[in-house]
Amino acid sequence: MALMEYKCPNCAGPLTYEPGTRDMVCPYCNSVVSIESLEAMDAILEEAEESESQDWSYAGNAWQQGEQEGMAVYACNSCGGEIIGDESLGATACPFCGNRIVISSKFAGSLRPDLVVPFKLTKEEAKKALERHYLGKRLLPKVFRDKNHLDEVKGVYVPFWLFDAETGVKADYEASKTKRWSDSHFYYTETSHYHVHREGSMVFDQVPVDGSQAIDDTLMESLEPYDLKEAVDFQTAYLAGYFANKYDVAAESCFPRADERIQRSAKQAFRNTVRGYQTVNPKREEVSLTGSRVTYALLPVYLLSTSWENRNYLFAMNGQTGKLVGDLPLDKRAYRSWFFKIFSIAALILVAISQLLVK
């Protein structure tokens, strides 16, 4: 199993990707190395990997049958320490020497991502974003906000499938227009009924679906949108200093989720073309995909975890835009207290007004 480390050419310290740049930085001697120059180094390392491929194997001798399923063991190139991880693990840090490691074979051949959106924000910014996330939440337990400490902050490149799709839409609607008037004796309501037909096409670009089983899909959808115009061609150098997983949910399995969202949007967009009516009810809405393409991309996410009252709370921040999401606990006492406060004030004002209005 090939491990890839980016070492500082000056002091051999582990290089880390500098968010928002095209450079890697050595935290020990502050040397800055451009990713372009490392691309050439990548090729050399890949050649070396081929010749050394027999040196790296799953160390499963001591494991019992079946015990190793879904698990992989790697040896750190720097200190020789054993790193045990998930089979989909693509980048990590050695727990013994802290060396940043990229398991390049997880991103080789057909597993190689097409694109990567590099981290733009730092771990510190993620921590600050979490503090801001707590602000203005009156029903958040005070102890959670004041005394809670983060268990872990991890920068992770999450595998995503990006679906491009051309859709053909055929739709029929029942629509009506209503006209009202009156004369000296009657009120009149005239309803005109129409059959409306729409047919056409529309194009969707890069609808993302998370390709990792371990990461909650709803959490990832909450982090959207990513600005995919900033995506660059994949280079393993971007992974240095972060965690990364290769996809473990195939594109075919992810497509139904993208299709569901595309269908809903296409139907909505075509319904919006039916204008000038008081009521519009769909009778038939058919959405077919006439052409589709899939791209494999790694998107940057900070995962922040904390525990409180024996429950784990996971927050995620979009490593590009800084959007942070994560559900927070409810302070039931504060809930009751605020309900009583609002009720008391509203009741006082409304009862006073009601008594003034009654003659």
Partner 1 sequence: MYLSIFTTIILQSASPDIRQRLTAAAIALLIALLIAWIGVSNMKAKLKSVRKEQTANRYIREDSLTLTSQRDLFLHKQLEKRPKAEKSKEGNS
Q: Is 291 in the site for partner 1 (CB under 8 A)?
A: no
Residues 330-349, interacting with partner 1 (CB under 8 A): 330, 335, 338-340, 342-343, 346-347
Residue 198: is it exposed, middle or buried by C-beta count within 10 angstroms (0-12/13-18/19+)? middle
Q: Is 358 in the site for partner 1 (CB under 8 A)?
A: yes
Q: Which of 73, 108, 202, 251 binds partner 1 (CB under 8 A)?
A: 202
Q: How far is the CB of 237 from partner 1 (least distance, A)?
A: 28
Total interface residues for partner 1 by CB under 8 A: 71
Q: Is 224 in the site for partner 1 (CB under 8 A)?
A: yes
Closer of 112 and 197 to partner 1 (Cβ): 197
- The closest alpha carbon to 24, from 235, 231, 240, belongs to 240
Q: Is 215 in the site for partner 1 (CB under 8 A)?
A: no
Which two tokens mark 302?
């900070």
Q: Which of 194, 250, 291, 333 binds partner 1 (CB under 8 A)?
A: 194
Q: Could you tell me which residues come within 8 angstroms of residue 237 by beta carbon, excluding any fewer than 6 positions away? A: 6, 17, 24, 35, 38, 39, 42
Closer of 74 and 163 to partner 1 (Cβ): 163
Question: Can you tell me whether residue 303 is helix, strand or coil?
Answer: strand
Q: Which of 23, 86, 125, 221 binds partner 1 (CB under 8 A)?
A: 221
Q: How far is the CB of 107 from partner 1 (least distance, A)?
A: 25
Closer of 282 and 326 to partner 1 (Cβ): 326
Question: Can you tell me whether residue 79 is helix, strand or coil?
Answer: coil
Give 132-176 as a DSSP string: HHHTT-TTS-HHHHHH---SEEEEEEEEEEEEEEEEEEEEEEEEE
Residues 147-186, interacting with partner 1 (CB under 8 A): 175, 182, 184-186
Q: Which of 187, 229, 284, 310 binds partner 1 (CB under 8 A)?
A: 187
- The closest alpha carbon to 41, from 6, 3, 72, 82, belongs to 6
Q: Is 51 in the site for partner 1 (CB under 8 A)?
A: no
List the beta bridge partners of residue 267: none
Q: How far is the CB of 303 from partner 1 (least distance, A)?
A: 13
Q: Which of 140, 158, 231, 298 binds partner 1 (CB under 8 A)?
A: 140
Neighbours of 249 (CB within 10 A): 18
Closer of 47 and 199 to partner 1 (Cβ): 199
Q: Which of 147, 195, 229, 284 binds partner 1 (CB under 8 A)?
A: 195
Which two tokens mark 326?
């994560």
Long-range contacts of range 267-271, CB-CB < 8 Å, 24 or more positions apart? 267/169, 267/171, 269/202, 270/169, 270/171, 270/198, 270/200, 271/171, 271/173
Residues 249-288, interacting with partner 1 (CB under 8 A): 258, 261-262, 264-265, 268-270, 273
Q: How far is the CB of 148 from partner 1 (least distance, A)?
A: 14
| Rounded Cα gap, residues 143 and 57, in angstroms | 48
Site string for partner 1, 119-138 (x = CB under 8 A): --------------x--xxx
Q: Is 214 in the site for partner 1 (CB under 8 A)?
A: no
| Rounded Cα gap, residues 220 and 300, in angstroms | 11
Q: Is 327 in the site for partner 1 (CB under 8 A)?
A: yes
List the beta bridge partners of residue 299: 158
Q: Is 218 in the site for partner 1 (CB under 8 A)?
A: yes
